[in-house]
Amino acid sequence: MEQLSGLDAAFVHQDSARTPMHVTAALIYDATNSTLTLPLVERLVRTRLLSEALFQRKLHRVAMDFDTPYWVPAGDIEWSYHLKSNRIPVGGTWESFQEILQNEHSRRMNLQKPLWQLSLITGLNGIPDLPPECQVLILKAHHAAIDGISLARLLARLHGMETANQSGGQWQSSQPNQWDIWSRANLHSLNRQLKLAETMGKLLPGLMRARETRHNAPELPPPLRNRARFNDQVSARRSVGVLLISRADIEHIKRQVRRVTYNDITSAVIAGGLRKYLQKKGELPSGSLAAGMPISLRSSADEPSGSNRIATMSVGLGTELEDPVERLRRIHRYAVAGKKAISALGTGTIMDISDSIAPPVLAEGIRTLAWASRVAPVPVPFHTMISNVPGPEGDQQLDGAPLLACLGLGPVRDNMGLFHTISSTSSRFSISFNACRKLMTNADDYLTCLESALNDLLEAASTLR
């Protein structure tokens, strides 16, 4: 019998009609010479993905959520639920595609069924900088069942990229009986109290080490911790947008600025876009906003399951800086300091925290902190999320259809109403965002700010010698 980790279970308990906790990946293909069909996608799932744990299991929740849920065998696949198609109206524009993507991502998943869905979107035609005819394959998966690195591995396997640690074996687990469930629940309730005491004993020295790393970078002003526009209660409606960037532009910036990463550059575009957007709203703070950036805690010895093994580091965005190159270099230094702080805290301690608290209590604590920050000056850890989900490496195709771009959308929740995802293929980077419609009424306004921030960074980088 396999149970969810504390972190995975927290995603289940946070899931609601207002805050669905799934992630979405959208893959854009050139359909000029080869087109995808639902029967073909089903065949690819059967031959390449069906042995993956995501496709083999579903949730079994304990009565009254007294303990963490279990993974149980999914049984026969209900293809009519898991595999669907949609067509963009005639003259399919980029805006029409973004609306379909928005509707797909806003729709909550059925937690009674296996936690994945695939949709094939046709009719994406006549888009600038893309071939005349394109198709999109959208994969939705619940965050309890998969993290960014697992999703990247899954997409690589979909495209036939097999490596030793990707092949894996058939996922196997048994159906728990009620005696086992309740006896283990009582045992876990006791063990959590003991583990919490042990974890706190390791956490306090780790926090001191993490604090020491910040003292070693005195030139970095601490990011703001007061609320900003997107630290508020979210509604069920979403605003979604996607910015595609040529790899040549990103490479040009990297050559000119030097000693920065691809993630630094795309994060700087987001920081510049946020600065412009908040300036227009008259809400730009005098200090730096902070982004939460999930980082993987997986080691080479970890089993290639879908379970989340992540921590979230705080990275200042330098939104108070006007010069885009100075902002980029500042973000790089913030990111280096953030990684050192996570390392000092200890990856084992980070995972132990979520496993030391009953998941319903952890989820309710997150909701309570979100509520408290709205009614009192409670510090917030981040003002937005930025997740980097690598796309398949190299030139990839699906049954002859070349992969052009890889996009991603993450979940928003109370107190975190704006989520960015960075991804890439051999020819393009993408910055996708998912926001609460109440907090961002027009996605095009923010998309325009991101485009302007990219152009500013390109222009400023081009003047460097």
What CATH number does the domain containing 318 carry?
3.30.559.30
What is the identity of the amino acid at 95?
Answer: E
Task: Answer whether residue 252 is part of any domain.
Answer: yes
Pair type for strands 384-388 and 290-296 = parallel
Task: Answer whether residue 294 is part of any domain.
Answer: yes
Task: Answer whether residue 276 is part of any domain.
Answer: yes
- pLDDT score for 158: 94
Task: Answer whether residue 41 is part of any domain.
Answer: no
- pLDDT score for 219: 77
Task: Answer whether residue 240 is part of any domain.
Answer: yes
Alpha carbon 216 to chain centroid distance?
Answer: 30
Q: Kindly report whether the global pTM for this prediction surpasses the value 0.95.
A: no
Q: Distance between CA 403 and CA 427 in Å, rounded? A: 9
Per-residue pLDDT of the chain (465 residues; tens, 9 = 90+): 788 888 888 899 889 999 999 999 999 999 999 999 999 999 999 999 998 999 999 999 887 777 888 899 998 999 999 999 999 887 778 888 999 999 999 999 999 999 999 999 999 987 888 999 999 999 999 999 998 888 888 999 999 876 434 444 566 666 677 767 767 766 767 677 666 666 666 666 666 666 666 656 667 899 999 999 999 999 999 999 999 999 999 999 999 999 999 999 999 999 999 999 999 999 999 999 999 999 887 765 555 555 777 788 999 999 999 999 999 999 999 999 988 887 776 665 555 666 677 766 767 777 777 777 666 677 888 999 999 988 888 899 999 999 999 999 999 999 999 999 999 999 999 999 999 999 999 999 999 999 999 999 999 999 997
Task: Answer whether residue 452 is part of any domain.
Answer: yes
Task: Answer whether residue 77 is part of any domain.
Answer: no
Domain that holds residue 346: 217-388+412-462
CA distances from residue 257 to 98, 252, 359, 387, 458 in whole angstroms, order as listed:
32, 9, 44, 23, 10
- pLDDT score for 346: 64
Structure tokens at 276: 């412009």
168: left (phi over 0), alpha (psi -120 to 50) or beta: left
Domains contained in the chain, number: 1
Q: Distance between CA 41 and CA 60 in Å, rounded? A: 28
Q: Dihedral of the CA atoms 421, 448, 220, 209 (nearest 10)?
A: -20
